[in-house]
Amino acid sequence: MSRSIIVNLLRFILVIFIQVCLLKNINVYSLTTPYIYILFILLLPFETPNILLFPLAFVTGLIIDSFYDTPGLHAAACVLLAFVRILFISITVQKDGFDNEPEPTLSIMGFRWFFTYSLTLTLFHHFFLFNLEAFSISQFQYTLSRFLLSSVFTVFLILISGLLFFRRKERK
């Protein structure tokens, strides 16, 4: 097995473990719920083929669904996240000159790009997830506040993990 597969497998196990064992019980005033597990999908290498990306996103969502007792909500949101990831990377990576980079990490891509990347994808994921969960217009204000506060909390945790676990590398 190549080093990349082992690193991503360990990353998958770690974020699922953190999500299920630590973050599942964090719920501030029933408004913020951090979903750090999306970091696995965000940090997959650029060259991950789409035929592999979508099943990985789906399985990740299904595993979270099994622990949260939400039948398919996280799986659907993760598949949408994979789709938006493909669009975002195709628009920004070639334009910004990151063609030779292996994966979208904070240390490789820089703070500004990674912040925009993680914020955009988290907003799409959370908006879809919370609206699918509520599935009602009558709870619009509550769903909107949950979506915004949870997105801010999740992006904050993603940036903290990026700063803690990745060393700064110089781009060529």
Q: What are phi and psi of 31, to 5 degrees?
A: -115, -35
Q: In this structure, what token pair is assigned to residue 101?
A: 């980079």
Query: What's the average model confidence in pLDDT over 7-20?
Result: 90
User: Which residue type does 136 have?
Assistant: S
pLDDT band at 81 (very low <50, low <70, confident <90, very high): very high
Beta strands (DSSP E) in the chain are none
> What are the C-alpha distances in Å from 60 to residues 1, 16, 78, 148, 170?
21, 8, 7, 23, 32
9-31: string of b/e by CB count within 10 Å (b at 16+)? eeebebbbebbbeebeeeeeeee
- Check whether 13 has a pLDDT greater than 70: yes
Task: State the pLDDT at residue 138.
Answer: 80
Query: What's the average model confidence in pLDDT over 145-171?
Result: 83
> What are the C-alpha distances in Å from 101 to residues 46, 85, 105, 109?
8, 16, 10, 8
Classify 105 as helix, strand or coil. Answer: coil
Q: Where are the domains of the chain?
A: 3-165
How far apart, in whole angstroms, are the C-alpha atoms of residue 79 and residue 30?
Answer: 25
- Check whether 64 has a pLDDT greater than 90: yes
DSSP string, 39-74: HHHHTS-TT--HHHHHHHHHHHHHHHHHHHT-SSHH
- Check whether 4 has a pLDDT greater than 80: no
Q: In this structure, what token pair is assigned to residue 46?
A: 């650029």
